[in-house]
Amino acid sequence: MENFLRGQVRWGIIVFLALFATGCPPSGKVDPTPDPLDFGDVYVGQSASGSATWTNNGTVAATIAAVSAQPTPPFAVGGAFAMQTINPGAAAAAVSYTFSPQAAGKAAGSSKLAVTGVKGSKLTLQGNGVFQKASSTLSLTGGNLVAGQALDFGKVPVGATKTLTFDVKNTDPNKKVTLQVKWTAGNQPFAVTAPVGNVVVAAAGTTTVTISFTPPAVASYTDIVEFIDVVGASNFAGTVVKGEGIKG
């Protein structure tokens, strides 16, 4: 019996040494910064980019073979990812990601690594698809604009013109703002027909804007119009506009 116990102990020591020699699971993992990666508000149909840096917090070198993002869409890894090995305590090159909302509302996803040597962590991805944006003092309200929706011209015969209106509101009680009009996609069938030139909004006031849609062909059209403060570009408001050209 004594010999049997000695044999069991000896066998346990051998197994332990074998596992130690081949390497026990290393401590730590490869972690992302920042986490979560928040893209904020992004217009539906547009894309925003961001990046995260993965750091090896383990005890041995880690090789990252690939990076994935789910769900796709609206999230994706930006560009091709080159395999790289990261030493303990070192950081990998920043990995780029994109968020391309196809619908309004908050979206959540994640990114994972195909990694060897150290456990891979998970990066949380999040963003919010919107049809309208506003700053702290500028917003779009009233008229034909429905909160949380695109300015929709509906079906319009080719060559005909339809107009819709809304107000640009300035909540700053102390100063007027002068706004430049920016169209994201070139506004081929859309135009600001009033006021002419830059949009001036009085302090604590509103200015009514008229948008026209004249479809040149049978097709669906989408664009984004923004009203940007000529003094502070971060002060702006905008909305997605859409319409469909049909046979007359």
Q: What is the pLDDT of residue 17?
A: 32
111 lies in the same domain as 152: no
pLDDT per residue over 46-74, tens digit each? 999 999 999 999 899 999 999 999 999 99
d(CA 239, CA 227): 9
Residue 101 domain boundaries? 29-130
Half-sphere exposure of 217 (CA within 13 A, CB side): 3
CATH of the domain at 65: 2.60.40.10
Instruction: Point out which residues pair with 124 in neighbouring strands.
Output: 110
Q: Per the domain annotation, does 137 fall within a domain?
A: yes
Give the pLDDT confidence of 108-153 residue by residue, as tens digits: 999 999 998 888 889 999 999 999 999 999 999 999 999 999 999 9
Question: Does 240 lie in the same domain as 145?
Answer: yes
Question: Which pTM value belongs to this model?
Answer: 0.83
- Among residues 113, 130, 147, the one where a domain terminates is 130
Residue 24 has pLDDT above 70, yes or no: no
In a domain, 100, yes or no: yes
CA 149, CA 240: separation in Å to the nearest integer?
8
- CA terminus-to-terminus distance, the chain: 100
> Residue 20: inside a domain, yes or no?
no
Q: Are residues 158 and 197 in the same domain?
A: yes
Q: Which of 112, 130, 148 is the endpoint of a domain?
A: 130
80 φ, ψ (degrees, to nearest 5)? -80, 145
Neighbouring C-beta atoms of residue 121, cutoff 10 Å: 18
What's the rounded Cα separation, in Å, for the pair 130 and 41?
A: 6
| Residue 175 backbone class (left: φ over 0; alpha: ψ -120 to 50; beta: rest) | beta
pLDDT tens across 150-187, in order? Answer: 999 999 999 999 999 999 999 999 999 999 999 998 76
Same domain, 177 and 210: yes
Question: Is 21 among the domain residues?
Answer: no
CA pair distance 177, 188, nearest whole angstrom: 27
Judge if 116 and 189 occupy the same domain: no
